[in-house]
Amino acid sequence: MDFIGEKLLQVVIALAVFAALIGLIMLVVDRAPKSDKEKITVIGFLAPAAILLLVGLVYPAVTTSFLAFTDSSGKVNGVDNFVWIFTQPEALVTLRNTVIWTVLVPLLSTSFGLAYAVFIDKARGEKVLKALVFMPMAISFVGAGIIWKLVYDYRGPGIEQTGVLNALRVALGLDPKQFLLDAPGNTIFLIIVMVWIQTGFSMVILSAAIKGVPVELVEAARLDGANPWQQFVNVTLPGIRGALVVVLTTITIATLKVFDIVRTMTAGNYDTSVVANEMYTQAFRAGEPGRGAALALILFLLVLPIVVYNARVLRQQREIR
């Protein structure tokens, strides 16, 4: 057990160094001459995050962009990778699936999360009720894979079923069904897994936002004769609009990037692949990093509409203020 002390010491040192660094920044910012104070504050507050982001994400993003125009041996091959992406037979299916994912997952998980957050707000046992929906988020990915195998598992007719859904089907007198093998339904069954996970995220964030809506406003609406639904639509919803945009955006981006669900449950077979899964497969399985990088760029293009939307929301917010 002696290792614990040594490890914790490392942690304490790291935290102390970090605290010293932040303290130093605050000191410099505070002592800055009045004329440059705003400028130095901006630099001081932003610099640590900016440096980390430049090194950790911007630089790799730039190298990835270059990589997208090279072949597996590293030679520049123009737009060949993009030609390949759009000429392979499954390309359109993969893109179609990605679109279905990015539309359905954010909508469904945000709706379920919001509904749940509202319904259990102030309910007895709120903490436990929240933990139940939060749990899928907290479970490891391997765990989630097995969980859904136990739900979708298939055995032929007449054999004892091991999957919950097929057991229900058989109990109702239906034939068992291979949920994951038949397109396009299988994509929906995979999406359900992602919704199941992400609802916990939207529920936690939205619940925190709902608690931030001033109670006076809700009460005022009630005194004006608004029913609960009207109170929700007219007071709560506008009050958490910012959080809703954040949740929708975050889940959309997470969905665009998700590949582990597809990879572990169908490996992209049976017409279930999505762009992020192809990216992973090409870069790390097939030894074609150029194609993987090209697919990453396509993901980037797909996220642009969301970026534009957020920029507009931001501008509106600034105008109101």
- Show contacts with other proteins in window 227-256 (CB under 8 A): 227-228, 231, 242-243, 245-246, 249-250, 253, 256
User: Any contact of residue 154 with other proteins (CB under 8 A)?
Assistant: yes
Give strand pairing partners of 76: 70
User: Any contact of residue 33 with other proteins (CB under 8 A)?
Assistant: no
SS (H, E, C) 133-189: HHHHHHCCHHHHHHHHHHHHCCCCCCCCCCCHHHHHHHHCCCCCCCCCCCCCHHHHH
DSSP code, position 32: S
Q: How far is the CB of 152 from other proteins (least distance, A)?
A: 9
Quick one: which of 69, 101, 112, 189 contacts other proteins (CB under 8 A)? Answer: 112
Q: Please, what's the b/e burial string for 181-207 (b: 16 or more CB within 10 A of its CB; e: otherwise)?
A: eeeeebbebbbbbbbbbbbbbbbbbbb
Q: Could you give the count of Cα atoms lying within 13 Å of 219 in the half-sphere of its Cβ?
A: 3
Q: Which 46-85 positions form the footprint of other proteins (CB under 8 A)?
A: 46, 48-50, 52-53, 55-61, 63-64, 71-73
* Rounded-to-10 torsion of CA 237, 239, 241, 243: -110
Quick one: which of 3, 35, 173, 225 contacts other proteins (CB under 8 A)? Answer: 3
Helix/strand/coil percentages in the chain, nearest 5: 80, 0, 20
Scanning 92-100, 101-109, 308-316 for contacts with other proteins by CB under 8 A, the matching segment is 308-316
Instruction: Give the sign of the dihedral formed by CA 177, CA 181, CA 185, CA 191.
Output: positive
Q: Which is nearer to other proteins, 78 or 211 (CB)?
A: 211
Q: How far is the CB of 105 from other proteins (least distance, A)?
A: 15
User: Any contact of residue 91 with other proteins (CB under 8 A)?
Assistant: no
Q: How far is the CB of 8 from other proteins (least distance, A)?
A: 7
Q: Which is nearer to other proteins, 106 or 268 (CB)?
A: 268
Quick one: which of 146, 174, 188, 220 contacts other proteins (CB under 8 A)? Answer: 146
**Cα Rg, the chain, nearest whole Å:** 25
Q: Which 268-307 positions form the footprint of other proteins (CB under 8 A)?
A: 268-270, 276, 279-281, 283-288, 292-293, 296, 299-300, 303, 307
**C-alpha distances out from residue 276 to 98, 113, 232, 269, 300, Å:** 8, 25, 37, 14, 11
Q: Which 191-230 positions form the footprint of other proteins (CB under 8 A)?
A: 196, 199, 201, 204-205, 207-208, 211-212, 214-216, 218-219, 222, 227-228
Q: How far is the CB of 100 from other proteins (least distance, A)?
A: 19
User: Which single residue is written with the structure tokens 């949920």?
Assistant: 179
Quick one: which of 70, 97, 98, 163 contacts other proteins (CB under 8 A)? Answer: 163
Scanning 34-42, 93-101, 102-110 for contacts with other proteins by CB under 8 A, the matching segment is 34-42
> Do residues 201 and 109 make contact, with C-beta atoms less than 8 angstroms apart?
yes
